[in-house]
Structure 1
Amino acid sequence: MKFRFAAAAMATTLFVGMVSAQTPQPIPAPAPAVAAPATVATPPAPVPSVSKAWILMDYATGQVLAGENVHAQLAPASITKVMTSYVIAAEVKNGKVRPDDQVMMSERAWREGGAGTDGSYSGFPVNQTARLEDMEKGMAIQSGNDAAIALAEHVAGSEEAFASLMNSYAAKIGMKNSHFVNAHGLSAPGHQTTAYDLALLGRAMVRDYPETYAYNKVKEFTVGSITQPNRNLLLWRDASVDGIKTGHTSEAGYCLMSSAQRGDQRLIAVVLGGASEKQRADDSLALLNWGFRFFETHRMYEPGKAVADHKVWKGQADTVQLGVAQPLLVSVPRGRYNDLKPSIDVPKTLEAPFTAGQPIGTLKVTLDGKVVAQAPLVAVAAVEEAGFFKRLWHSFLMWWESE
């Protein structure tokens, strides 16, 4: 007992400054937004009048603002072609194919997706070639099934091999409940996805390949003597809408994957299983308008800036600065930003060394007790290991605190 009292006295006398410096600092609140007047509760989202599933997602954060049956596996019809566009854009970026490649409209592509079928077609002549970029536009703007098959054959040798590429890229995007068996979206056993996965795909398309995404806002495209309009009616109704893709089969119903940007905010809506072209457009625009009216997106924390300090044992510094590796964004009902509550989850005992960027814990942001955003906490700067005597002394203090 005498030894322990003596040790305690020595710790108090010699290291009170150090221990005080190690006390974790409170989490700084995010920069306050402009004070907003008192708000009423956010009204419920306008549910599509006819649908099998629907979702509204914030592009910047990936937060689901509203939805029903978002993980139900359904036939996507021609919205499939967004996945096809994503794969082609990725293969172009990787140097596998080029925009000026000559793509052959094969007999299979013409027979299974051309004008002689019941589906949409682009009209490129059979057994002739066209630039890859032009055929992509025929697929995206005119929803050409023939162009989708021809592009798949050019990129991967066969449509079946291309479908394997589609599933690989879908997995990278995070589309966990999707499986593709063709490039065009006509009904086939096992060809299915979800409203949530399609919203993720829309985010990825805008983020990763904006130039290819831009094809989706073109209102018409001409092949030979045939000019066809884009089937997305919202392009004529609202200037903020710049995509994304329609779809229709007897199995899938009328589907629409749409996106709009107003100011710095972008939203993505997906409606699957609608009753008509007009209804899917009406309901999608209602969802977009509701989202823009009642939600806002904020950047709460920036990378490289400390969110909190935490005590460190056995380090040259006595604390480690914790921050985020990527900007932390959050979508909240308008006027509720100042009600957000951040908190950190960090191991009680941290021992140096730490490298800059090393994950250490988790930052969570809640609103009304519900987590609305979270991100890994990382070391803002490195903390080197202390010398022998400080490490020895900290070992003793750690043992003492554990008793």
Structure 2
Amino acid sequence: MRAILASLLLLSTPISAVVAQDQYQTEATHAVIMDFDTGEILFDRNGDVAMPPASMSKLMTVLMTLEAIRDGQLSLDDELPVSENAWRRGGAASGSSTMFLEVNSRARVEDLLRGIIIQSGNDACIVIAEALGGSEEAFAEMMTDRARELGLESASFANATGWPHPDHRISAADLAELARIIIADHPELYSLWAEREFTYNGIRQYNRNPLLGVFSGADGLKTGHTEESGYGLVGTAERDGVRRIIVFNGMGSNTDRANEAERMMRAAINDYALYDLFDAGDALEAQAEVFMGEAETVRLEVAEDVQLALHRRARRNMTVSVAFDGPIPAPISAGDEIGRVIVEVPGQEDREFPVVASEDVAQKGLMGRIGAAIAHMIRGN
């Protein structure tokens, strides 16, 4: 049977504390806060629900470009042709966010990256898409396939720009993971995301990210807005070696987005912390009962490091226990997995980590097993 052996941490606050007090509150329809180092979701509101991401999906277009540069398919100095299609659907003629590329001109890849990241240029996205995929439609399929390879299961891209389309969707959690991949895998060009302005074709445009220059340590990533999606942001900041990623969508105005960006990032940095609960090999006070063993119990230890990022108030309401299906039949070898450390935080899913035996326990000899069986029958359990 399943047995909870012992509480491993003394708590200063009862579990009856109101769960909502331990959670960030937001008017965004979709939101997550992610710890960069662990990838753990610290706060989640509809974070796994696929949503229209608007220009935030340009993160995937940029990632595809960065991977093409890494793989030698493109270089920063390559000049790509600006088709009439890219100009008409994403340039000045489109009335949408644009880099103001001229039709039938050529643009350097490095400038196109700045045009996407800083100016949110739809024309730059289409130029990249046509260069790498032959057409924007084919490139969108490539984006979706690559996203699935990366484990971004909610992602479905219909274009390179984020233009509204019923099949163009991704969750806030997957956008956060996408940002994490860009930061971790492409540090050589990551500084582009922090640039405040870019002038191309004589036209100066400013980065729309409301965190840049306002929140110390902020250095990326991308805003988004359509009538369907509302106002959203994928943002990140690093302070004192701690980096957080925030994603939210569905705000009602540009001002609302700016206010929420600063408020959510401040909470992400200040209200959440990483807690080292155990190191691999740490002994537990609890011991597991052994059946038919030369010892009646076996000592337990944690099999891997246990590190969690939690809201500081939620930490006070956390409980940690160890559970197993027992008693454990002998023989037992040191390192055998025989249980789980269970971390419970009100309002969050339980998390489990493996527990192993710290020592060998041999099986009783024949006479010992007979005696134990007789005793078991007498006790009736």
TM over 0.5: yes
1:285 — aligned with what? 262
Q: Structure 1 vs Structure 2: percent identity of aligned residues?
A: 28
What SS does the aligned partner of 1:178 have? coil
From 269, 287, 307, the equivalent of 1:329 is 307
Correspondence 1:12-161 to 2 at 5 A: 42=21, 45-48=24-27, 51-93=28-70, 95=71, 97-100=73-76, 102-107=78-83, 108-161=85-138
2:294 — aligned with what? none
2:320 — aligned with what? 342
1:7 — aligned with what? none
Q: Are the counterparts in 1 of residues 332 and 357 from structure 2 also a CA contact under 8 Å?
A: no
Q: 1:56 deviation in Å? A: 3.2
Amino acid in structure 2 at the alignment position of 1:232 = N
> Which of the two has greater strand per residue?
2
Amino acid in structure 1 at the alignment position of 2:243 = R
Q: 1:372 deviation in Å? A: 6.0
Q: 1:376 deviation in Å? A: 4.5
Task: Describe the superposition over 1:56-77 as per-residue Cα deviations: whole angstroms up to 9, x where unpaired.
Answer: 3343444444444434433211
Task: Describe the superposition over 1:127-152 as per-residue Cα deviations: whole angstroms up to 9, x where unpaired.
Answer: 34444333222211111111112222
Task: Describe the superposition over 1:173-214 as per-residue Cα deviations: whole angstroms up to 9, x where unpaired.
Answer: 443333111111011231112223323323333333344443
Amino acid in structure 2 at the alignment position of 1:102 = D
What SS does the aligned partner of 1:109 have? helix
1:208 — aligned with what? 185
From 154, 170, 187, the equivalent of 1:193 is 170
Indicate how the Cα distance of structure 1 residues 297 and 106 shifts in structure 2: closer, same or farther if over 3 A, else same.
same
- The worse-fitting range, judged by mean Cα deviation, of 51-60 and 347-356 is 347-356
Indicate how the Cα distance of structure 1 residues 271 and 332 shifts in structure 2: closer, same or farther if over 3 A, else same.
closer
* TM-score using structure 2 length: 0.75
What SS does the aligned partner of 1:204 have? helix
Gaps of 5+ in 1: 1-25
Q: 1:167 deviation in Å? A: 1.6
From 298, 307, 330, the equivalent of 2:275 is 298
Q: 1:78 deviation in Å? A: 0.5
Q: 1:354 deviation in Å? A: 8.2
Q: Are the counterparts in 2 of residues 247 and 256 from structure 1 also a CA contact under 8 Å?
A: yes
| CA distance in 2 between partners of 1:378 and 1:132 (Å) | 51
Indicate how the Cα distance of structure 1 residues 178 and 124 shifts in structure 2: closer, same or farther if over 3 A, else same.
same
| CA distance in 2 between partners of 1:52 and 1:340 (Å) | 27
| CA distance in 1 between partners of 2:210 and 2:263 (Å) | 13
| CA distance in 2 between partners of 1:187 and 1:275 (Å) | 17
Amino acid in structure 1 at the alignment position of 2:344 = T
| CA distance in 2 between partners of 1:397 and 1:103 (Å) | 80
| CA distance in 2 between partners of 1:399 and 1:164 (Å) | 68
Gaps of 5+ in 2: 292-296
2:345 — aligned with what? 367
Q: 1:279 deviation in Å? A: 1.4
2:211 — aligned with what? 234
Indicate how the Cα distance of structure 1 residues 399 and 101 shifts in structure 2: closer, same or farther if over 3 A, else same.
farther
1:272 — aligned with what? 249
Amino acid in structure 1 at the alignment position of 2:166 = P
Amino acid in structure 2 at the alignment position of 1:121 = T
**Are 1:171 and 2:148 matched, yes or no?**
yes
Amino acid in structure 2 at the alignment position of 1:97 = Q
Amino acid in structure 2 at the alignment position of 1:143 = S
What SS does the aligned partner of 2:93 have? coil
- Aligned-pair Cα RMSD in Å: 4.2
Q: 1:83 deviation in Å? A: 1.6
- The worse-fitting range, judged by mean Cα deviation, of 102-111 and 64-73 is 64-73
Q: How many pairs are equivalent?
A: 361
Amino acid in structure 1 at the alignment position of 2:210 = L
| CA distance in 2 between partners of 1:173 and 1:87 (Å) | 12
| CA distance in 2 between partners of 1:399 and 1:145 (Å) | 80
